[in-house]
Structure 1
Amino acid sequence: MRSKGFVARAGSRLELEGKPFRFAGPNVYWLGLDENVDGIAWPTEFRVRDALDTALEMGATVVRSHTLGASQGHPLSIMPEPDRYNEEALRRVDFAIREAAARGLRLIVPLVCNWSYYHGGRSTFASWRGLEDPLSFYADPEIKETFKRYIAMLLTRMNTLTGRAYRDDPTILAWELGNELNDAPAEWVREMAVHIKDLDRNHLVAHGKQFELDRDKLGIEELDILDVHYYPADADALARDAADTAAAGKVYLCGEYGWTEDGLEAFLERAEKDGNVAGTLFWSLFPHADDAGYVPHYDGFSLHYPGTGVSPDYERRCLALRSHAYRMSGRDVPACLVPEAPAISSAAERVAFRGVVGAARYTVEKSTRGAAGPWTAVFDARPADHDMPWQDPTRAHGTRTWYRVRALAPDGAAGAWSEPFESEPFTPRG
């Protein structure tokens, strides 16, 4: 019997405490292990919190994150070598799960990846056995047992921050057998789904592939969710796959889609109106950087909310995704969050401050007569961009200067001013 607080399946629909549960949100694949800042590293606590807070502001109730489970073969991953587990990497997963729970967010966690990315995948398991064919992941008995032991370790892991085993934590909505396991045999899917259900009676089990529904998996009793990824976002394919999944008595999920491509509005509208669609998760969300600006990523689908400094179309799409998430979960779309006050960290050659959640623009003011002002604008409602931190073009050499900054939401609502930051007299290099 499933414990209270867990998302459950009722035929082809999801429920929470007996009520329908539908959702939208982002993929945030790097929450357990990042590749985007100074090479491969664990993400800072700030970046994890900023991403989850941004997801929340965008209306998300669910986040899908590969590296909370699919993390093998790198020295910083959960399993660097067969049957050797990295406690510090697991503590990073503990942290992300706790932070998601604190925000009321649910997590979908893939357990392996089809591709040979920095966080490992099928080929990692094959290489440990000296095998070149990634498909041996599904056939080799020793690989299968290694993967099963990995699953058992993860599901029974006691979160050091919450005191709760992962398998007993309702923050996790579903264990996904893997990301885009396009060639997975039905027998393997059934075997691994049974293994998870034997260990964990609380959580749902998902399986999916790219571009099309994995129809030969629809009859697997132990499988709850079928996940399909769309590049580009295709409203007709979405409706067709959702109908076929529902007809088989399974839950349909769009686990990834390309939000930058044509047809986005039609795709989102179809998902909202189609009760067979349990949820949609766009690819993919990135946070503010630790110092200033945003964490960069260059795959054509990286989203930095609310996108004001990129283009009007980019911002329009960001806000459309936000509205979609609220509507998918049956809520009215609220006004945008009024951003909190940023904190200036330095103002030597450039004015540096961390971005804050929901900020579309920033106004920076200066004073040369003290923290009480008078203040004059250096940047008036300048869009957030990748050029941050910003250089003050009006600053005179040798002048002591105070700065303050405030953030503005996409609708123009202004947050509070930061505490004034006193900078030492500026002397240019050279």
Structure 2
Amino acid sequence: MKLLTLLPLLASTSLACAGTIKQQDDIRSLPITRNGTTLILNKKPWKAVGANVYWLGLDENVSPRSPDQPYYAPTKATYPTQGRITEIMAVVKAMGGTMIRSHTLGISVGNPLSLWPAPDQTNEAAFAPIDWAVYQARVYGLRLMVPLIDNFDYYHGGKYTFLRWAGFNLTGKESSNPQVQQFYNNKTIVNMVKRYISVLLTHKNPYTNLTYAEDPTIFAIETGNELNGPVWGDMNVPTKWVREIGQHVKGLAPRKLFVDGTYGVNRTHFAVDEVDIFSNHYYPVSIDKLKKDLNTLSTVDKPYFAGEYGWLGNAASADANLTAWFRELEASPKVIGDTFWSLFGHNVPDCDTFVEHSDGFTMQYGNPAHAAQIKLVRQHFVKMSKGLSIADDETLPSVPCPAPTAR
């Protein structure tokens, strides 16, 4: 068993065992609720801090280990191993995180390995890694935020998949075509999306015997990832669509929090009662932009979540920028959390090789090149979630690979 660092895990971030899970089932079975701009767990304020781990349900970064492993070559899609999923849960816990935002736990349409390879055709095999991820999050005492639709035309599908299914022959390269608004306004597409959501939320996880709608491990459902209209940054996501999707989600899962996944804070969505949380993304981190977002939200009694940010910052001043960014997030009573982009681990069962991704924002716990930033992130998570300060020279907790599971 390989260790990512030299010291054992601290008590505050110790890995879960079966006995611990049973003792803490009362907490793990409680929902996260909202009181104005504060999230509540077990009658106490709770912060949503963690990582974006977009690949938990379907990955694009590793080659299959054997000919019988499911693989879709055109998009390099394959299912992550259970070991990779479990290791990430252990890492987020060691970093002081409380949750994970993961696209492919909810966005999975349009290729043979998806939940919906075609309209109204459910691929039950695609639920296996999602079931495991939800279960392992519960094992490690973490919560999950699940987006439903991607604004882009990626391997896991999204807005353009539904458009093509409805007869609009568009790809992500035609994002400025006014017809992309048919995704929000075309009743056939809207109803198709709602049926997909129903399939997702009513699925029963064999590890927990709970549907995704019932399981409080999934604490929040997000309309989508960086949703926009035909003009980049236009925030042209119709209020009517947000309300209809919100009502559908709340009808199936009334105890879930509902997040507006528009790329930017859209004032017109303040009128949507179903929306619990507003958010935005930051590349690079920008305190001015954050302040503008918070000022926009000042007229509504709802909280703010920084859903993505580039942890690398700006060149030589990256660490200073990141530190200042964290202090700003920690100081605002409206900010209920944040998730950096993005976290990867080892190619488990290979514990000697990190999985790589090409966007330049790959964080790997245990990689010496990332140690300084990981310490900053961990200090921020612990400050947000526990109100505690961690010394700069404190050694990072160790995480074994493969990480332990409890069945």
TM tier relative to shorter chain: 0.7 to 0.9
Q: Which amino acid aligns with 1:50?
A: E
Give unpaired runs (5+ residues) of structure 2. Answer: 1-27, 64-75, 171-178, 230-236, 315-320
Structure 2 residue corresponding to 1:31, chosen from 51, 56, 77 = 56
Please say if residues 375 and 396 of structure 2, whose CA atoms lie closer than 8 Å, have aligned partners that are also in contact: no
Q: Which residue of 2 is the match for residue 182 of structure 1?
A: 228
The question of 1:192 aligning with 2:237 is answered no
Q: Which amino acid aligns with 1:141?
A: K
Q: Which residue of 1 is the match for residue 357 of structure 2?
A: 297
Q: TM-score, normalization: structure 2?
A: 0.79
Counting only pairs closer than 5 Å after superposition, residues 99-138 of structure 1 correspond to structure 2 as: 99-131=136-168, 132=170, 133-138=179-184
TM-fit CA distance, 1:287: 0.8
Q: Which has the larger radius of gyration?
A: 1
TM-fit CA distance, 1:22: 1.4
Q: Which amino acid aligns with 1:128?
A: W
The question of 1:319 aligning with 2:365 is answered no
Q: Which amino acid aligns with 2:119?
A: P
Distance in 2, matches of 1:130 and 1:340, equals: 48
Please say if residues 306 and 319 of structure 1, whose CA atoms lie closer than 8 Å, have aligned partners that are also in contact: no
Distance in 2, matches of 1:330 and 1:243, equals: 26
Give unpaired runs (5+ residues) of structure 1. Answer: 343-353, 358-430
Distance in 2, matches of 1:13 and 1:340, equals: 31
Please say if residues 307 and 318 of structure 1, whose CA atoms lie closer than 8 Å, have aligned partners that are also in contact: no
TM-fit CA distance, 1:242: 2.6
Q: Which amino acid aligns with 1:85?
A: T
Q: Which amino acid aligns with 1:319?
A: K
Q: Which amino acid aligns with 1:269?
A: R
Please say if residues 13 and 20 of structure 1, whose CA atoms lie closer than 8 Å, have aligned partners that are also in contact: yes
Counting only pairs closer than 5 Å after superposition, residues 144-183 of structure 1 correspond to structure 2 as: 144-183=190-229
Residue 218 of structure 1 aligns to a residue whose secondary structure is helix
Distance in 1, matches of 2:258 and 2:399, equals: 38
After superposition, what is the alpha-carbon deviation per residue over 1:356-392, rounded to whole angstroms, capped at 9, x for unaligned? 79xxxxxxxxxxxxxxxxxxxxxxxxxxxxxxxxxxx
Please say if residues 280 and 307 of structure 2, whose CA atoms lie closer than 8 Å, have aligned partners that are also in contact: yes
Q: Which has the higher contact order (CA 8 A, sep 6+)?
A: 2
Q: Which residue of 1 is the match for residue 398 of structure 2?
A: 339
The question of 1:273 aligning with 2:323 is answered no
Distance in 1, matches of 2:389 and 2:114, equals: 38
Counting only pairs closer than 5 Å after superposition, residues 213-362 of structure 1 correspond to structure 2 as: 213-262=265-314, 263-290=321-348, 291=350, 292-308=352-368, 310=369, 314-332=370-388, 335-336=394-395, 339=398
After superposition, what is the alpha-carbon deviation per residue over 1:164-205, rounded to whole angstroms, capped at 9, x for unaligned? 111111101100011111231111111110111112111011
Residue 344 of structure 2 aligns to a residue whose secondary structure is coil
- Worse-superposed segment, 29-38 or 247-256: 247-256
Please say if residues 77 and 119 of structure 1, whose CA atoms lie closer than 8 Å, have aligned partners that are also in contact: yes
Please say if residues 50 and 100 of structure 2, whose CA atoms lie closer than 8 Å, have aligned partners that are also in contact: yes
Residue 324 of structure 1 aligns to a residue whose secondary structure is helix
Distance in 2, matches of 1:63 and 1:229, equals: 15
Structure having the higher helix fraction is 2
Q: Which amino acid aligns with 1:257?
A: Y
After superposition, what is the alpha-carbon deviation per residue over 1:272-329, rounded to whole angstroms, capped at 9, x for unaligned? 1111100010000001122222001010111112431x3xxx4211210111111110
TM-fit CA distance, 1:236: 2.5
Q: TM-score, normalization: structure 1?
A: 0.75
The question of 1:19 aligning with 2:44 is answered yes
Distance in 1, matches of 2:259 and 2:400, equals: 40
Please say if residues 176 and 206 of structure 1, whose CA atoms lie closer than 8 Å, have aligned partners that are also in contact: yes
